[in-house]
C-alpha cells in the first residue's frame, strides 16, 4: 500500500516552477487521472520505486522500451563497458554497424537502416525520405495513430493529445497540416475512395500496423493488405511505424506477424534498450536517397551513439537467446487467463485486448474497438477510478485510459496473479 508521497509532491512543486507542467513529456503530469505523479528513483526487474520508497509492480516499462524489465544485468553491464570507453565520438563506431545488421537480418524487406535518437525523429526522417524519393508531398495517416510530435504528424494525433481532447497542436502551421490527410482505421471503402482521388499524389502512408496509442486497436489483416495493394499500385510508399511493435510483437515486428512487407519501417523503444534510440529503414534503392549518397538531408550529433547502441544490442541479444517473443506470448496468455474471471465479475464491461506482450483494458461493452471513433468517451472516467485503486495497491499502470500496458521478460506468473488480485479488489470498490 502507498505510504506517503511527500518527496514526490515536493519535487513536483519544484518542477512546476522550472519545467512547464512539471514534466518533460505531457502525459507524465497525470492530468488524465489526477493526483501527483510519483518521481521514480530506481527500477529492477518488473518493479520500480519512487522517491518516498513506495514500490510498484510496473506495467508501463518506460512506455515500451524495457522489454527485459528494468536494469537488466546484461544490458547494464554492456552500458557500463561502453561508457568506460567514452560516451560519444561523433564518428562511426562498431556497435552501430552491429545494430543495423541485426535490424536488417530481422525485419522483412529492410536492406539498410539509419539510426536516430527518438521515435519522433525516426518517423519524421522516414517521411522526408519518402517525399524526397517519390517527389510527392502528400502524407496519409490514420485517426488514432500516433507517430511522435513532428509538425506534419500532429494532425488529429492520439497518445497524450487524445487525452487532452485536442485534435492537433497549436504551433503547427495550417499549410503543413494540409499536406497530411487523416483517414479512419478499419475502413477499406474510405481507403479505396481516397486513393482513387488522391493516390497518385501520395508520397507515403504511415500507419501503426498495431495501433497502440489510442487503446490497442487491432487491425484486420485484410485491411492492412488492402493498404499494401493500394500504396503499391499508386506508387506511394507504405511506412510501418513499428516504434512500439518493432522487436516487441515478434522479431520482425508486425511485418512478420501479418506477413506484409512495407517500403519503410520506423523503430524506437525496444531497439534502444532504454536509451534514446530510433531508426528507420527500407529497401536499398529508397534509402540511397539519403545524404551523403542522395539529396535528402538527415543527420544527428548523437545518432548511433555507442552507449545507446550497446544497450540496444544487449537487449536484442537477450531476446533472441532466451526465445523472448515466445515467452512473452506465454506470459500474455497467462495474463488473459488470470484476468478472465476478474473481468467477468466487474461491475461494468471490461475486456482485455492483447497482442503478445502489449495489453489494454477496453472499458466498454461489445467487441474491442478497431478505430479511434469506436472508443466510448466514458471509458476515461471509469479508468480514473481503476488507475488510482491500482496505484494505491502498488500497481503502476499508464496514467491514461488510452495508453497500453507492457509485459516484460522480468514479469513472473506470481506478478500476474498479484495484478489480478489488485484489479479484483479495485473493481469491487469502484461500482
The binding site for ligand PMP (CB under 6 A) comprises 63, 118-120, 123, 146-148, 208, 213, 241, 243-244, 268
Active-site residue, selected from the candidate residues 107, 146, 258, 383: 146
Other beta carbons within 10 angstroms of residue 225's beta carbon come to 14
Q: How far is the CB of 141 from ligand PMP (least distance, A)?
A: 11
Contact yes or no for 235/203 (Cβ under 8 A): no
Q: Which is nearer to ligand PMP, 40 or 270 (CB)?
A: 270
CB of 420 to ligand PMP, least distance (A): 27
Set 50, 186, 187, 241: catalytic member: 241
Q: Please pick, among 107, 186, 269, 402, the residue that the annotation labels catalytic.
A: 269
CB of 263 to ligand PMP, least distance (A): 17
Are 103 and 315 in contact by the 8 Å Cβ rule? The answer is no
CB 3 to ligand PMP: min, Å: 31
Pick between residue 211 and residue 389 the one whose CB is nearest to ligand PMP. Answer: 211
CB nearer ligand PMP, residue 120 or residue 231: 120
Nearer to ligand PMP, 44 or 62 (CB): 62
Q: How far is the CB of 358 from ligand PMP (least distance, A)?
A: 11
118 vs 408, beta carbon nearer ligand PMP: 118
CA neighbor of 179 nearest in space, from 230, 123, 255, 128: 128
* 258 or 422: CB nearest ligand PMP: 258
- Active site (annotated) includes residue 241: yes
Spatial distance between the Cα atoms of 345 and 428, rounded to a whole number of angstroms? 9
List phi, psi (to 5°) of 274: 100, 0
Question: Position of cell 511506412?
Answer: 239
- DSSP states of 114-173: EEESSHHHHHHHHHHHHHHHHT--EEEEETT----S-GGG-BS--THHHHHT-SB-TTS-
| Catalytic status, residue 269 | yes
C-alpha 234/C-alpha 191 separation (Å) is 12
Which among 2, 33, 30 has a CA at the least distance from the CA of 15?
Answer: 30
> Min. distance of Cβ 209 from ligand PMP in angstroms?
10
In angstroms, what is the minimal distance from the CB of 349 to ligand PMP?
26
Residue 84 is a catalytic residue? no
CA distance 237 to 400: 32
* Backbone phi and psi for residue 356, each to the nearest 5 degrees, phi listed first: 55, -125
Smaller CB distance to ligand PMP: residue 240 or 393? Answer: 240
* Cα–Cα distance measured from residue 60 to residue 68, given in angstroms and rounded to the nearest whole number: 12
Sheet of strand 351-355, all strands in order from the earlier edge strand to the far edge: 351-355, 358-362, 405-406
Cell numbers standing for residue 284: 536499398
Which active-site residues does the annotation give?
Answer: 146, 241, 269
Amino acid at each position: 500500500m502507498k505510504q506517503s508521497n511527500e518527496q514526490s509532491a515536493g519535487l513536483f512543486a519544484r518542477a512546476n516552477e522550472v519545467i512547464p507542467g512539471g514534466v518533460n513529456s505531457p502525459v507524465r503530469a497525470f492530468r488524465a487521472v489526477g493526483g501527483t505523479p510519483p518521481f521514480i528513483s530506481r527500477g529492477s526487474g518488473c518493479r520500480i520505486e519512487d522517491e518516498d520508497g513506495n514500490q510498484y509492480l510496473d506495467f508501463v516499462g518506460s512506455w515500451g522500451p524495457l522489454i527485459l524489465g528494468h536494469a537488466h544485468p546484461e544490458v547494464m553491464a554492456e552500458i557500463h563497458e561502453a561508457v568506460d570507453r567514452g560516451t560519444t565520438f561523433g564518428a562511426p563506431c562498431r556497435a552501430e554497424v552491429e545494430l543495423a545488421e541485426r535490424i536488417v537480418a530481422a525485419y522483412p524487406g529492410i536492406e539498410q537502416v539509419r539510426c536516430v535518437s527518438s521515435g519522433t525523429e525516426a518517423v519524421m526522417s522516414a517521411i522526408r525520405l519518402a517525399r524526397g524519393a517519390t517527389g510527392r508531398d502528400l502524407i496519409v495517416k490514420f485517426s488514432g495513430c500516433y507517430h511522435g510530435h513532428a509538425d506534419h504528424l500532429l494532425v488529429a494525433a492520439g497518445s497524450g493529445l487524445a487525452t487532452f481532447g485536442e485534435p492537433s497542436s497549436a504551433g503547427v502551421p495550417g499549410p503543413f497540416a494540409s499536406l497530411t490527410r487523416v483517414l479512419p482505421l478499419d475502413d477499406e471503402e474510405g481507403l479505396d475512395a481516397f486513393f482513387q482521388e488522391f493516390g497518385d499524389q501520395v508520397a507515403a502512408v504511415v500507419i501503426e500496423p498495431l495501433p497502440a496509442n489510442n487503446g490497442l486497436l487491432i487491425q484486420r489483416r485484410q485491411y492492412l493488405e488492402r493498404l499494401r495493394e493500394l500504396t503499391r499500385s499508386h506508387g506511394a510508399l507504405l511506412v510501418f511505424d513499428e516504434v512500439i511493435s518493432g522487436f516487441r510483437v515478434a522479431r520482425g515486428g508486425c511485418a512478420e506477424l501479418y506477413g506484409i512487407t512495407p517500403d519503410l519501417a520506423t523503430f524506437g523503444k525496444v531497439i534502444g534498450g532504454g536509451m534514446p534510440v530510433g531508426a528507420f529503414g527500407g529497401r536499398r534503392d529508397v534509402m540511397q536517397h539519403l545524404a551523403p549518397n542522395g539529396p535528402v538531408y538527415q543527420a544527428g550529433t548523437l545518432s548511433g551513439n555507442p552507449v545507446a547502441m550497446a544497450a540496444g544490442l544487449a537487449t536484442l541479444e537477450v531476446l533472441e537467446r532466451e526465445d523472448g517473443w515466445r515467452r512473452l506470448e506465454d506470459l500474455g496468455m497467462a495474463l488473459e487467463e488470470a484476468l478472465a474471471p476478474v473481468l467477468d465479475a466487474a461491475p461494468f464491461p471490461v475486456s482485455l485486448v492483447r497482442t503478445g506482450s502489449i495489453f489494454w483494458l477496453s472499458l466498454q461493452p461489445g467487441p474491442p474497438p478497431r478505430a479511434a471513433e469506436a472508443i466510448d468517451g466514458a471509458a476515461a472516467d471509469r479508468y480514473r477510478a481503476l488507475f488510482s485503486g491500482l496505484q494505491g495497491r502498488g500497481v503502476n499502470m499508464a496514467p491514461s485510459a488510452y495508453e497500453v500496458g507492457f509485459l516484460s521478460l522480468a514479469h513472473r506468473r506470481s506478478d500476474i496473479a498479484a495484478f489480478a488480485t489488485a484489479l479484483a479488489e479495485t473493481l469491487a470498490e469502484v461500482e
